[in-house]
Structure 1
């Protein structure tokens, strides 16, 4: 008798764990509160002031507010973003991954790629749009030493009164493109790196160091999309310029940057952004795995005692 093909098991939706969401929020908040925000501030300064080099950006940031100058926009905007974007990504990417495999018949790799890209877009249009806008405003707005500066809440309220929700989400389309290409690139490059490390033994389990290395390579090389990050910063910047067109979109902003700074202008701030990507990856991979293992051990110990 001819053997009938064995039906493969239907794809299972990845569970969205409340514990993992909480851990991810805690790790990202730690990351942004330590070295993450200084890298973000320097990167944003260089993207907005494209005539400044790395050392000049560091010097001007320090002159603007001392050590606190490197943490502009941290409270509350970077904290809001860090504590929410992981949960949005996990939920959206899990759902898209499942639908791609069940409805489209996609392979796990393609489904994961689509899930990461969709999750990145979801991040942009939920919490990251207004958070990145306000962080950029805090770094680029003029603060006079002779007057009491407006609070970040007052600035946000003024923008909302003038322009509504759209004003607070200025540049969100560029954020969405950045996040989509970020997660797609990180996923793809990290998987290729893992394959190269394994070599001929495709089933070998990678060590923690090898997984960190793969993620770091993916995070660093994903910065190829720095031009869209520079465009995003320019669209959200509060810095004044006489020749800057009003109501910029992605295309008019790209033309403006090219006319003023040429091709190299699109890569201003890429060095601190690479450093930011590497630091974030190490925190999320090494720190995330360590915390998850610790929590799992504690939960197993409690269950054994009960």
Structure 2
């Protein structure tokens, strides 16, 4: 069985292609992310929150305008560029470390383990602080509106709470990233391995379909961690334990799957975009990298 990607893909190519894919995915799917986050935050008294993501988007657009739907988008795009660059970089490298020495392939469990490890690294290096800023901006826009921008929110949170304030919700975010990356990257690579053994051509449509299926699996398996993370990273922030308690008080066990429909809408769409963009970016960047490497090698020799 052949690996899901070229085993010789250089780290810099994985990093760059992952960053490009993450930025594209975050921007194009942000309104659905915005709607999902609004639903997961504590509801304002007397104002019921609709379950339909498109209704949330429509209501916000009608009352607050198109700019409101992209509140916190810059923070997520920057975070996604870093997150997915790191995630693809470490997944591609860890995947080879976990591969069977005889065949160079990964079992489904090793695929998941490689994804989980990459998710933890991404959470520590990029995801937690950027998700904290994005969520705080969305929450703040409902009431006080004291944050003027992502940079201003970062400055205020830093002054009020220090570094720990930017890492509020770290436990929930890391659990989410570890599990989400494991299921998303693992599922995608398992599907590609399966298709390779049956000589199914890898084109844009197949890549998009694989990414969408990976998005569905990821959402259903990791939604509780996403809800806990969102509650922890509200405008003023709470501990992970307090977030869990508030969810149980507000909605009971079912509350841990709050926003599932909205997140499904985003992850099916974004999963397809993410992996399709990544594969396309690798095809564009790889020849440039190879040409540059050959030029440098020739000059050195």
Query: Deviation of residue 111 (structure 1)?
Result: 3.5
Does the 8 A contact of 2:11 with 2:93 survive in 1?
A: no
3-state SS in 1 of match to 2:168? coil
Deviations 1:151-204 (A, max 9, x none): 4323221211221111111001111111111122224444565677x5xx9442
Going from structure 1 to structure 2, the CA distance change for 1:16 and 1:90 (only over 3 Å counts) comes to farther
In the alignment, which residue of structure 1 is the partner of 2:38?
45
The farther-off stretch of 204-213 and 43-52 is 204-213
1:27 aligns with 2:25: no
TM-score, length-scaled by structure 2: 0.78
TM-score (norm 1): 0.77
User: Does structure 1 residue 279 correspond to structure 2 residue 273?
Assistant: no
Q: Does 1:256 align with 2:246?
A: yes
Distance 2:289 2:85 in 1: 21
The within-5 A match list for 1:1-306 is 15-33=9-27, 35-49=28-42, 51-53=48-50, 54=52, 57-63=56-62, 65-75=64-74, 77-101=75-99, 108-109=106-107, 110-142=109-141, 150-190=148-188, 193=191, 202-208=197-203, 209-224=205-220, 225-238=222-235, 247-249=238-240, 251-295=241-285
Structure 1 residues 216-273: Cα deviation after superposition (integer angstroms, max 9, x where no partner): 112112112111111110111127xxxxxx8422x44223212211233222222221
1:108 is paired with a residue of what secondary structure?
Answer: coil
Partner of 1:243: none
**2:232–2:239 CA contact under 8 A, matched in 1:** yes
Taking structure 1 as reference, are residues 148 and 20 closer, same or farther at Cα in structure 2, changes over 3 Å only? closer
Q: Per-residue deviation at 1:279?
A: 2.1
Q: Any conservation in 2 of the 1:136–1:233 contact (CA below 8 Å)?
A: yes
Would you say the 8 A contact 2:169–2:233 is kept in 1? yes
The equivalent residue for 1:5 is none
Contact kept, 8 Å, 1:14 with 1:98, in 2: the verdict is no
How many residues are matched? 279
In the TM superposition, residue 56 of structure 1 has moved relative to its aligned partner by 5.1
- The higher radius of gyration belongs to 1
**8 Å contact 2:18–2:87 — kept in the other structure?**
no
RMSD of aligned residue pairs (Cα, Å): 3.4
Q: Distance in 2 between matches of 1:281 and 1:113?
A: 17
Runs (5+) with no aligned partner, structure 1: 1-11, 240-245
Seen in structure 2, the aligned counterparts of structure 1 residues 108 and 37 have a Cα distance that, compared at 3 Å, is: same
Give the Cα separation in 1 of the matches to 2:83 and 2:166: 17
Query: Aligned pair in 2 of structure 1 residues 100, 292: CA closer, same or farther (>3 Å)?
Result: closer
Equivalent-residue separation in structure 1 for 2:239 and 2:290 (angstroms): 54
Structure 1 CA distance for aligned equivalents of residues 93 and 192 of structure 2: 25
- Quote the Cα distance in structure 2 between the aligned partners of 1:281 and 1:18: 22
Given that residues 14 and 94 in structure 1 are in contact (C-alpha distance below 8 angstroms), is that contact kept between their aligned partners in structure 2?
no
Distance 2:253 2:267 in 1: 23
**How far apart, CA to CA, are the structure 2 residues paired with 1:182 and 1:70?**
24
